[in-house]
Amino acid sequence: MLDTSTMTPSTANAVLESWNAVDAAQAAREILPCCGSHAWADGVTARRPFASAVDLLAASDEVWWALAERDWQEAFDSHPRIGQQHAKTATAESLQWSAQEQRAAMSHDEALKAALADGNRRYEEKFGRIFIVCASGRSAAEILNILERRMENTPDVELREAAEQQRQITNLRLRRWLGVE
């Protein structure tokens, strides 16, 4: 469900007005760092114009859930592993956002860092992709607990969980992009 309690309509409307006015290629480039999937960026862009942030967020969710698994994977690949600063495919802006989102998860506890690295490795071996979690505001210990719980998922259940986490990350980034976080 969309939480619109912190959105400032005037800020979001100014960003949307400008974004609605640019050509489709530029609009897709501008919004791509919010998700990392070109199909998502193109799909959301094709639904313009948006009158409000709520409309944009709703369209984002609809487009996201209609994408193919390969498009989800492209978004997943745009993220660094928890505790790292590089990704298979990412824009400078999305890497900066990832660092901000993971700030609370950065631990100085070497044992916890090692456990996260081991968990990431085991997750990738089991599911064939990096572990995706909406890390914003979560500690390293919380993330490790989530990772361990999700290791029990079947591949199909875990794909949907990873997709939901990506959707949450995308919504946070859209709010940031709109200036209403």
pLDDT of residue 4: 41
Highest mean pLDDT among 10-19, 26-35, 131-140: 26-35
Positions marked active-site? 79
Give the lowest-confidence range in 2-16, 89-103, 120-134: 89-103
**Arithmetic mean of pLDDT, 81-104:** 54
Whole-number Å distance between alpha carbons of 36 and 40: 8
Q: What percent of the chain has pLDDT over 70?
A: 80
Whole-number Å distance between alpha carbons of 61 and 46: 14
Band of pLDDT at residue 7, cut at 50, 70 and 90: very low
CB proximity list for 104: less than 8 A, separation 6 or greater: 135, 136, 137, 138, 139
Structure-token match 């986490």, residue found: 165
pLDDT of residue 85: 53
